[in-house]
Amino acid sequence: MPYITTDDGTEIFYKDWGTGQPIIFSHGWPLSSDAWDVEMKLAADNGFRAIAHDRRGHGRSSQTWYGNDMDTYAADLDALVRALDLRDLIVVGHSTGGGEAVRFAARHGVGRVVKVATVGAVPPVMVQSDTNPEGTPIEAFDSIRDALLADRSQFFKDLSAQFFGTNRPGSKISQGQRDQFWRLGMQAGFAAVHDCVKAFSETDFTEDLKALDVPVFIAQGDDDQIVPIADAAEKAIKLVKNGQLKVYPGAPHGIAGPYQQELDKDLLAFWLS
């Protein structure tokens, strides 16, 4: 299996499908690159080179005790991009991966990144503070950490309902999708899963969004129960210079079902534009 090794010795697993202009995909918490398989095939089938990595501590990458923070995630992504010498690059990120993609593009991707797409992404910042009074109280993230410590497996099983919106009437998401969420989450290292809660909730991406000078496609469902749209996409679009916001009525956080079908059409149109 293909890996790169970062400066601190962490092995980062990645997939590399197809040929053409590169698109790199960053996955959400607590998943792995497998979460992007459908979109990777879509990209490769349409003349792109699709690449997705397992963030450190997740999937098949090293289960590190250290470096489970957004600056290191972005540096790891930069190491992969440089190892593969990717240019004319499109970056796509979901949820936590959206934060990783934005920070990478702003701080490492100048001259390499030509487009950015985020889906249900955590920027600009999730946690409530004096400067972000509309944010989610820190107690909500503390409860996630407590639930992970108490019974990670059951927590992921329960969380999958909110993630995919199966607790809403008329949901068309299968039990198989929920089981896959649990499976990928349980593959991740415990330290990374726990520490990443702080990374995705408390990292402020405001200046990263402002720094982007390439086209940015921001997508989110308006029934996202994981990352509230009012504190995410609706704020992020006001911070980027060249952005397009697409809101998907009734769509959840997880990319699946009818939401995935519509989103993938829009992503392909953005890649090709």
Give the type of residue at 1: M
Region of 239 on the Ramachandran plot (φ > 0 left; ψ -120 to 50 alpha; else beta): alpha
Residues annotated catalytic, as ranges: 95, 224, 253
Token couple for 38 = 């459908």
Where are any strands of DSSP class E within the chain?
3-5, 11-17, 21-26, 48-53, 89-94, 113-119, 216-221, 243-248
| Chain centroid offset of residue 16 CA | 18
Q: Rounded to whole angstroms, how far apart are CA atoms 203 and 103?
A: 10
Q: What amino acid is encoded at 236 in this protein?
A: A
Q: Is the dihedral of CA 228, 118, 123, 214 positive or negative?
A: negative
Q: Phi/psi at 158 (nearest 5 deg)?
A: -70, -40
